[in-house]
């Protein structure tokens, strides 16, 4: 029997990954969540972020990421940094690396059967012809504005991809999710 307050099962699970999980991937998570909400698909997607390294575990996102997010009406304050865990490869359908170093680190740790789940996030914005969301940690605010712009474009591409694939049958998925959340 289902708990009537239980959230419906997500249709697709997405993990954003950078190095420290305080600058780029938390911002990518926040931007993507907002776009998913606007597209009325947020309840169908499980969204998380993580870092390949453990430097900042438990910390809030960097204040510069919080600031550019807040300028765009996105609140990152519920996020805390965590490291990628070996179970993430099995759990998440899309594991999205912010840059090629992050991708190489993920690739090295990922069991072979899950490697097709790994992608460079900017592959979802092919018109940009870029591979990396640059690491803004040691730079100024401009770097964070650039990260925002890049993750915004890639998020739009990712939403479009999901709507053409896992979420293609949107009306019936949304009907199922309403039935799930009403059942006890
Ligand atoms: P992120 O940025 O990978 O986008 O979270 C960084 C955060 C921290 C460090 C480097 C990059 N660090 O060296 O501590």
What is the model's pLDDT at position 174? 84
pLDDT reading at 22 higher than 60: yes
Q: 8 alpha carbon to ligand 1 midpoint, in Å?
A: 34
What is the dihedral sign for C-alpha 101, 103, 105, 107? Answer: negative
Q: What tens digit of pLDDT does each residue of 82-129 get?
A: 999 999 999 999 999 999 999 999 999 999 999 999 999 999 999 999
Q: What is the DSSP letter of 120?
A: E
Tally helices (H) and strands (E) across the chain: 6, 4
* Test site for ligand 1: of 18, 19, 140, most ligand atoms within 8 A of the Cβ: 19
Q: Give the burial string for 94-115 (b: 16+ CB within 10 Å, else e).
A: bbbbbbeebbebbeeebeeebe
The closest alpha carbon to 109, from 167, 51, 181, belongs to 51
Question: What pLDDT does 138 receive?
Answer: 97
Torsion of CA 126, 24, 114, 56, to 10 degrees: 170
pTM for this entry: 0.94
Distance 20 CA to ligand 1 centre (A): 4
Find out whether the beta carbon of 137 lies less than 6 Å from any atom of ligand 1: yes
Is residue 110 part of the annotated active site? The answer reads no
Is 64 labeled as catalytic in the residue annotation? no
Ligand 1 site, residue 76, Cβ cutoff 6 A:
no
- Is the shortest distance between the CB of 22 and ligand 1 below 6 Å? yes
Please work out whether the CB of residue 155 comes within 6 Å of at least one atom of ligand 1: no
Residue 24 designated active-site: yes
Strands 118-120 and 94-97: parallel
Question: What is residue 48's predicted lDDT score, i.e. its pLDDT?
Answer: 98
Q: How confident is the model over 160-174, as a mean pLDDT?
A: 91
The answer, yes or no, to whether residue 33 has pLDDT greater than 50, is: yes
According to DSSP, the residues that pair with 119 across neighbouring strands are: 96
- Could you tell me which of 162, 15, 22 has the C-alpha nearest to residue 89? 15
Q: What is the pLDDT of residue 181?
A: 66
């Amino acid at each position: 029997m289902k708990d009537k307050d239980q959230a419906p099962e997500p249709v697709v699970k997405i993990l954003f990954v950078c190095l420290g999980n305080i600058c780029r991937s938390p911002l990518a998570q926040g931007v993507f969540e907002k776009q998913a909400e606007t597209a009325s698909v947020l309840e169908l997607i499980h969204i998380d972020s993580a870092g390949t390294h453990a430097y900042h575990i438990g910390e809030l996102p960097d204040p510069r990421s919080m600031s550019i997010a807040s300028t765009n009406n996105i609140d990152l304050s519920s996020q805390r940094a965590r490291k990628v865990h070996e179970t993430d490869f099995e759990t998440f359908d899309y594991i999205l690396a912010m840059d090629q170093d992050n991708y190489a680190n993920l690739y090295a740790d990922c069991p072979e059967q899950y490697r097709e789940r790994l992608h460079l996030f900017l592959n979802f914005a092919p018109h940009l012809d870029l591979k990396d969301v640059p690491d803004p940690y040691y730079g100024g605010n401009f770097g964070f504005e650039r990260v925002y712009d890049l993750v915004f474009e890639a998020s739009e591409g990712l939403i479009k991809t999901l709507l053409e694939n896992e979420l293609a049958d949107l009306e019936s998925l949304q009907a199922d999710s309403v039935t799930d959340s009403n059942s006890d």
